[in-house]
A and B are shown apart, each in its own frame.
Chain A
Amino acid sequence: MMRLPKFTYVRAKSVREAVRVMADAGPDASFVAGGTDLYPNMKRRQQTPKTVIGLSGVRELRRIAGKPETGLVIGAGATLTEVCEHSKVRKGHPALAKAVSLISTPILRNMGTIGGNVLLDTRCNYYDQNYEWRKGIHFCMKKDGDVCWVAPSSSRCWAVQSSDAVPVLCAIGARVALASQSGEREIAAVDLFRDDGIDYLTKRPDELLTEIRLPATNGWRATYWKLRRRGSFDFPVLSVAARLWFDGATVKDAKIILGAVGSSPLDAHESARLLIGKPLTEDTIRAAADAAYKPAKPLDNTDFAYAFRKEMAKQYVARALRDLA
């Protein structure tokens, strides 16, 4: 059996209690929602919190409220199944519903939450291994070691942002609410992330993610594409979220976010710029797609050859844009 390390478990009943216990427990504590990211990591000793604060009993975190036309609010503790099967999410935010429905497997989606998905640990072939395996290579910088095996001369970690929901939330301009003992703050989802495999979040460890606030749905369309080896189970190794605002047939504004090809979601500015003021035709789509080649910087630390993932960034941007044409 691959067992969890010992820890003290506190099952919180409210947001207030969760943040209080976190403030008391200090840096050795972790929140847990569905546990589908934290517990595998703990079993592999990538994370070893002494106190784990369970959120599954916090009912206020599970609500999905509001209207898509004025802004839907999704509680961080809503399960992935609840999110992707919710009629308002499916109708108002088909791109998000699609991204969430492509996460892992139906069984896992009954447990994993949208909040846990947004905050998911970054991934790397040299890191997502059991303790003995990692010990065998003398560990790496992200945990217990001091060298990066993907880029040994590098002073930073390049572990990969691998959430399916994150590219969509960033592309559509969602905002997130964070609560702690010192109050609540709201930031743009895109500002949650930092381009560093170890320090990948701007959220303080004591902050609880409470809500994901989606923008009003008028005037734009969005979509999501995911590359992975198997049609189930696997994390994305490249993903594309695109959001376009139209003025008649002309693209008024555009946002294209690449996922799983960097430590943070990447904004393909140039691809978006090339579309603005133009109609969406096969020519403009091709030009925008080609411009996604440069910013996509996959490294050799996930499934598939990285050169293939970089090449596929073009193809997947094109597919996403064709969805919106």
Chain B
Amino acid sequence: MKTKAKGRARARFEKVHMRLRVNGEDVEVAFAPHKTLLEVLREDLGLTGTKHGCELGECGTCAVLVDGKPILSCLALPLDLEGKEISTVEGMADGPRLHPLQEAFADLGAAQCGYCTPGFLLTAKALLDAKKKPTRDEIKDALAGNLCRCTGYVKIFEAVELAAKRMREAAPSKAKGASNGR
């Protein structure tokens, strides 16, 4: 871990400097060592797309991907994540082009107040990266750690299905291979 005290040796709670890899870019960041990834993303890196809800592991709105897997950023320390690939909602769009999940959520009204949406998008992205054609039950299971107080979930499930379909159609050769087995 590359954590050297800032300036002269000072109190043990002095800021640490480290390099994190966020959305494909290396960023240098200095923060108090007991800060959570959620706090560092929002407060020190200005990436406020990741939302804070319960901050106790009970809602999933703070979900980000670490090496492609969803985790709760409110319960993770950046000090444990050196060398890991961290993906937040800010990294989902490809330049001006939204990710198919983002488009499908917008098209189907799967976001109402939108507070839960970043967490759902990333969790769903992890699912679709692993599985091209998940069943409704597999989608429900994968998203069982994200709470939404507005939509009633059905539109969210439908949006994930629509995004999966569009992604399969956009990459026809791969989709054939994946759907043959079904």
CB within 8 Å of B: which residues of A?
Answer: 1-9, 11, 34-36, 39-40, 43-44, 54, 56-57, 81, 104-108, 110-111, 231-233
Contacts and interface: CB of A to CB of B under 8 A. Distances in A.
Contact of B71 (A3, A40, A43, A111): A111
Q: Which 10 A-B pairs have the closest CB atoms?
A: A105-B145, A107-B145, A232-B144, A2-B55, A40-B56, A107-B70, A4-B34, A39-B75, A6-B13, A110-B69
Given A8-B12, A40-B56, A43-B55, A106 B71 contact: no
Interface in B103-117: none
B44 interface: no
A43 B55 CA distance: 9
Contacts of A105: 60, 144-145
B145 A106 contact: yes
B1 A3 contact: no
Interface stretch (B76-84, B90-98, B168-176): B76-84
Contacts of B15: none
B145 A35 contact: no
Most B CB within 10 A of own CB, among A5, A43, A54, A231? A43
A39 B55 CA distance: 10
Contact of A5 (B34, B36, B69, B80): B34
B39 interface: yes
A152 B43 CA distance: 44
Contacts of B63: 107
B104 to A, nearest CB: 21
A81 B142 CA distance: 12
A111 B39 CA distance: 18
B146 interface: yes
Max chain A CB contacts within 10 Å: which of B35, B70, B72? B72
A11 B55 contact: no
B60 A11 contact: no
B141 interface: yes
Given A4-B34, A7-B34, A9-B33, 9 more contacts: A5-B34, A6-B13, A6-B34, A36-B75, A57-B80, A105-B145, A107-B60, A111-B71, A232-B145
Nearest to A4: B34
15 contacts: A3-B36, A4-B36, A5-B34, A7-B34, A8-B13, A40-B57, A43-B55, A44-B56, A54-B80, A105-B60, A105-B145, A106-B70, A106-B141, A107-B146, A231-B144
B52 interface: yes
Contacts of B79: 9, 11, 54
B102 interface: no
B70 A110 contact: yes
SS class of chain B's interface: helix, strand, loop or mixed? Answer: loop
A104 B145 contact: yes
A35 B34 contact: no
A35 B76 CA distance: 7
- Which of A54, A81, A105, A232 gathers most chain B CB within 10 Å? A105
Contacts of B12: 8
Nearest to B42: A1
Nearest to B52: A1
B141 A36 contact: no
Contacts of B77: 9, 35, 54
B25 interface: no
Contacts of A11: 1, 79-80
A110 B145 CA distance: 11
B87 interface: no
A35 B57 CA distance: 10
A177 to B, nearest CB: 24
B123 interface: yes
Interface in B47-71: 52, 55-58, 60, 63, 69-71
A108 B142 contact: no
A8 B76 CA distance: 15
A19 to B, nearest CB: 19
Interface in B100-146: 123, 141-142, 144-146
A104 B69 CA distance: 16
A1 B34 contact: no
Nearest to A55: B80
Contacts of A54: 77, 79-80
Given A9-B79, A35-B75, A54-B80, A108 B145 contact: yes
A44 B75 CA distance: 13
Interface string B1-40: 1000000000011000000000000000000111110010
Contacts of B146: 107
Given A2-B55, A6-B13, A9-B77, A110 B33 contact: no
